[in-house]
Amino acid sequence: MITHPQKVEDMRERATLLNDMEQDLLAGRTKTAQALGWYTNWLAQKIKKHDYSKDFPTENYSPQ
Amino acid sequence: MSAEQIIKRIQAERKTVNAELYNAEGLLRLQETMSAYEGEYRLIWSDELLKELENRPKESLHATGLSILDDVIGGFKEQQLITIGGHTAHGKTQFGLFLVEQYEKLNPLIIPLEQSNEELVMQRRDNGYSIPKFLSPRSLAARVTCDWIEERVVEGIAKHNTKLVLIDHLGYINDFGKEGEFKGENTAYRIGQVMKGLKNIAKKWNVIILLLVHISQHDEGKPPSLEAVKNSSDIIQESDMVILIWRKNTLKKKVRVYEDKMLVSIQKNRRTGKNGSIGLAFDKLTGRYYEENDWVKSMEESARQSVEAEDMFDSL
């Protein structure tokens, strides 16, 4: 598998979260930004370490 | 850390994440496109391929008419690039012309780069030999390239359904690429490109190409081997079959005396993997070859005995 769709989905979510965090901080909503920060870091770890291939329904990709 | 510093860090992080996301989304799109790809270059399983081959009408092999040679090679077939190598004056052109005569039904085309078509015809006429029926270009381009050869092949196919092309010889094809991109490259590289070009013509236009090549100087008294093929390993690599010819000769008082016997040695045979040597004799009356294998057998026998004798000597 070159790229797992779920990994791309997680990357997309993280990009959105970082954007939201920035907006929250600019608006002075530090508590919300902090909560988002925790989740963003958790997602970063998942993207880095999680074995996405295990989530993949392999039977769809076996020959014939 | 101040809020400003945190925002700056987040902005930098966001930039990196967006770049990574851009790449990952591109790969995912490619992956999705390729998983649905059903075009001409799609990957297929070997069992599917086998089924397809079994349903295809059987390919006919074109026999040379020389029974021992046909036993070894099974005949030539379309899309093959066959290289015939040999020393100067060992009969490459004559053997090529002989094959052309054997394959008259394939409406052969000769690209005569060493000797002109006029010389070929006149020489055979003056010697009283049979003149094979072949097509050849009225005149040659100043620089013969693979594209130029391809145009002649297409003309032959369009006008006369040509199935066999004899090129005499590789050394005269001077191809620097479409835009001169091979000009700065060395000879071996350029020859490699020419070989790929010729193989491509054979496959694209479904013709047999017989390509004559020179071999490097070595002891003429012994039959040559693949290492003697000059200039580029691509000559052997790109060929479907490599045939080396050797004219029987002996050195008598520093003068080399040639006989009218020729060894035809199949050194590479991609289709069947079968190699072997056969003996031919040249008929001076007709200018044609016929099989005469006894001298080859005795030569092989004496070579075998000398190897055995060397082995025995080594084991002592």
3-class secondary-structure state, position B86? strand
C-alpha distances in Å from residue B251, one per residue of B86, B220, B255: 18, 9, 5
Residue of A nearest to B13 (CA): A18
Q: How far apart are CA B175 and CA B189, in angstroms?
A: 11
Q: How far apart are CA B84 and CA B141, in angstroms?
A: 24
> Can you tell me the ipTM of this complex?
0.77
Q: Which are the contacts of A23, defined by CB distance < 8 A and separation ≥ 6?
A: none
Contact B7 A5 (CB under 8 A): no
Please give the residue that has the higher pLDDT: either B271 or A31.
A31
DSSP symbol at B296? H
Mean pLDDT taken over chain B: 87
Q: Is B217 exposed, middle or buried (0-12, 13-18, 19+ CB in 10 A)?
A: exposed
3-class secondary-structure state, position B29? helix
Q: Which residues are B246's β-sheet partners?
A: B263
Q: Band the pLDDT of A64: cuts 50, 70, 90.
A: very low
> What tokens appear for B91 in the block?
């009969």
Q: How far apart are CA B279 and CA A30, in angstroms?
A: 94
Q: What is the pLDDT of residue B285?
A: 85
C-beta separation of B166 from B104 below 8 A? no
Contact B28 A63 (CB under 8 A): no
Contact B17 A18 (CB under 8 A): yes
DSSP B193-235: HHHHHHHHHHHHHT-EEEEEEEB----TTS---GGGB-S-THH
A21 part of contact set with chain B, CB < 8 Å: yes
Residues in chain A closer than 8 A to B10 (CB atoms): 18, 21-22, 25
Rounded to the nearest angstrom, the minimum Cα separation between B4 and chain A is: 9
Q: What is the pLDDT of residue B301?
A: 72
3-class secondary-structure state, position A11? helix
Question: Which of A45-49, B70-74, B83-87, B192-196 shows the lowest mean pLDDT across its residues?
Answer: B70-74
C-beta separation of B199 from B160 below 8 A? no
Digit-coded pLDDT (tens) for B137-181 = 998 888 889 999 999 999 999 999 999 999 998 888 887 777 777
C-beta separation of B82 from B209 below 8 A? yes
3-class secondary-structure state, position B168? strand
Cα R_g (chain B), whole angstroms: 27
> What tokens appear for B86 in the block?
């040999």
Residue of A nearest to B28 (CA): A3
Residue of A nearest to B43 (CA): A63
Backbone angles phi, psi at B253, to 5 degrees: 50, 55
Residue B33 Cα to chain centre, angstroms:
38
> Which spans in chain B are helix H?
3-35, 46-55, 67-73, 92-102, 117-126, 146-160, 187-205, 234-238, 294-315
C-alpha distances in Å from residue B263, one per residue of A18, B39, B56, B67, B87: 79, 48, 37, 15, 12
Interface of B with A (CB under 8 A): 3, 6-7, 10-11, 13-14, 17-18, 20-21, 24-25, 27-28, 30-31, 45
CA torsion B73→B171→B238→B281, rounded to 10°? 10
Q: How far apart are CA B109 and CA B138, in angstroms?
A: 12
pTM as predicted: 0.69
Question: Which of A43-47, B67-71, B162-166 shows the lowest mean pLDDT across its residues?
Answer: B67-71
Q: How far apart are CA B111 and CA B149, in angstroms?
A: 8
Digit-coded pLDDT (tens) for B176-226 = 777 777 777 777 888 888 999 999 999 999 999 999 998 886 777 788 877
